[in-house]
């Protein structure tokens, strides 16, 4: 019986990881910026904004995904997300204007990612209640690793087929693999997981209670500040390397791999560490490292080595934020409504996707680094006032 349970839960993890790899390929977006600008003559800022729209829509539809999970089987919700993602990318291959690209890749593709994202996360946590940080690190780590796995695939199709056809082939690949992975998802039989306080009292916040508790907003704000730095670097990594470090486009493209590796490692490392030393303490360490990296980028002359090391530091911590905040949400507000509650918390990531590139476009890269460092220090201070909530 125990062996059967173990086999089933690792099959669930396999399917979850496969889905996360596919939807995580969204972080390869910086590879598409230059080819799209070259082919259509669009402004770089307009092309980069596609990534912002995608992340914002993705974040918003995690709430929809959470709602659907309360009504439908998880494999059906995940399959629906896979179809939206595939269709969005395939339609993107026909886009001849930025508006169409925003609609197809940003809106439809973003819907698919958002609906899919909460399915592996909320499901796997229920199979590993005693190792929430560890398993969350694996699942969201796969999301971060997606850009590394599919970087070469995307570059191959862009080079051999052109940027538009690349969208079509990638859409087919992501949809087929995600649909396959979705069929492995299921919740444990008779799952009745509960979160309890140190006094043994059950902690379960519904959506209304969550939105009326000040702790939620403090957590939301620091999550926003943590994501701003990471998403700005991810969305513009190649461009920063070319402009500030004078790297060739080919060398600058390697930052996608650096980000993917450290993003994925950060999710597993920080997630597992948070099981040992506590969630908020872990978050503090990540803000310290992010602030240091941004200060170095702001005031130290960037060469190849400094650029890649500081980018790796930021990616490591960004991955950590996305691994630790789901477990913070579960620990602070309960397991029963985790899918919806974390969907609301995750809106900070969507807001960061809009704010980060807009800020970067409105000021120099150096100035935006200084701002990111300031926000990290401010978030570090806010963590000193965060306590585990009680019902009010």
Q: Which of 25-34, 63-72, 93-102, 331-340 has the highest mean pLDDT?
A: 93-102
Q: Tell me, what's the pLDDT at 235?
A: 65
| Overall average pLDDT of the 139-159 stretch | 88
Q: Is the pLDDT of residue 357 over 90?
A: no
- Nearest partner of 174 among 88, 95, 56, judged by Cα: 88
* Dihedral sign of CA atoms 244, 270, 224, 373 in order: negative
Query: What's the Cα-to-Cα distance from 318 to each of 185, 186, 191, 376, rounded to whole Å?
Result: 27, 29, 31, 12
| Overall average pLDDT of the 51-68 stretch | 89
Q: Tell me, what's the pLDDT at 122?
A: 86
Q: What percent of the chain has pLDDT over 70?
A: 93
pLDDT (tens digit per residue) in 12-40: 999 999 999 999 998 788 889 989 999 99
- Nearest partner of 232 among 150, 354, 147, 107, judged by Cα: 354
Q: pLDDT tier at 350 (50, 70, 90 boundaries)?
A: confident
pTM for this one?
0.80
Q: pLDDT tier at 143 (50, 70, 90 boundaries)?
A: confident
Tokens read off for 327: 């477990």
Report the SS3 class of residue 42: coil
Q: Tell me, what's the pLDDT at 98?
A: 95
Domains and CATH numbers, the chain: 2-185+196-383 (1.20.1250.20)
Least confident of 97-101, 102-106, 124-128: 124-128
Q: pLDDT tier at 190 (50, 70, 90 boundaries)?
A: low
């Amino acid at each position: 019986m125990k062996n059967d349970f173990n086999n089933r839960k690792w099959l669930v993890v396999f399917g979850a990881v496969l889905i996360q790899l596919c939807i995580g390929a969204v972080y390869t977006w910086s590879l598409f910026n230059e080819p799209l600008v070259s082919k259509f003559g669009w402004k770089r800022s307009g092309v980069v904004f596609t990534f912002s729209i995608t992340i914002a829509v993705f974040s918003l539809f995690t709430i929809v995904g959470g709602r659907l999970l309360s009504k439908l089987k998880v494999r059906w919700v995940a399959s629906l997300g896979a179809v939206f993602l595939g269709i969005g990318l395939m339609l993107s291959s026909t886009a001849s204007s930025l508006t169409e690209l925003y609609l197809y890749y940003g809106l439809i593709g973003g819907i698919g990612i958002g609906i899919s994202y909460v399915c592996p996360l909320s499901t796997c946590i229920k199979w590993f209640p005693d190792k929430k940080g560890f398993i969350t690190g694996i699942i969201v780590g796969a999301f971060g690793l997606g850009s590394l796995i599919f970087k070469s695939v995307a570059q191959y199709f862009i080079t051999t087929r052109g940027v538009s056809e690349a969208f079509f082939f990638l859409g087919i690949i992501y949809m087929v693999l995600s649909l396959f992975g979705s069929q492995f998802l299921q919740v444990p039989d008779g799952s009745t997981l509960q979160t309890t306080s140190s006094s043994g009292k059950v902690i379960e916040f519904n959506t209304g209670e969550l939105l009326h508790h000040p702790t939620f907003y403090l957590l939301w704000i620091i999550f926003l500040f943590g994501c701003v730095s990471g998403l700005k670097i991810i969305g513009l990594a190649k461009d920063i390397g070319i402009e500030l470090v004078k790297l060739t486009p080919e060398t600058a493209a390697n930052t996608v791999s650096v980000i993917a590796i450290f993003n994925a490692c950060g999710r597993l490392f920080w997630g597992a560490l948070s099981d040992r030393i506590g969630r908020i303490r872990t978050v503090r360490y990540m803000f310290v490292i992010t602030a240091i990296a941004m200060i170095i980028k702001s005031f130290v002359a960037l060469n190849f080595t400094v650029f890649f090391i500081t980018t790796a530091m930021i990616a490591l911590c960004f991955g950590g934020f996305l691994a630790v905040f789901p477990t913070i949400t579960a620990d602070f507000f309960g397991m029963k409504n985790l899918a919806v509650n974390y969907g609301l918390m995750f809106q900070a990531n969507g807001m960061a996707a809009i704010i980060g590139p807009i800020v970067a476009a409105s000021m120099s890269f150096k100035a935006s680094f200084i701002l990111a460092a300031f926000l990290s220090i401010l978030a570090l201070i806010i963590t000193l006032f965060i306590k585990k909530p009680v019902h009010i």
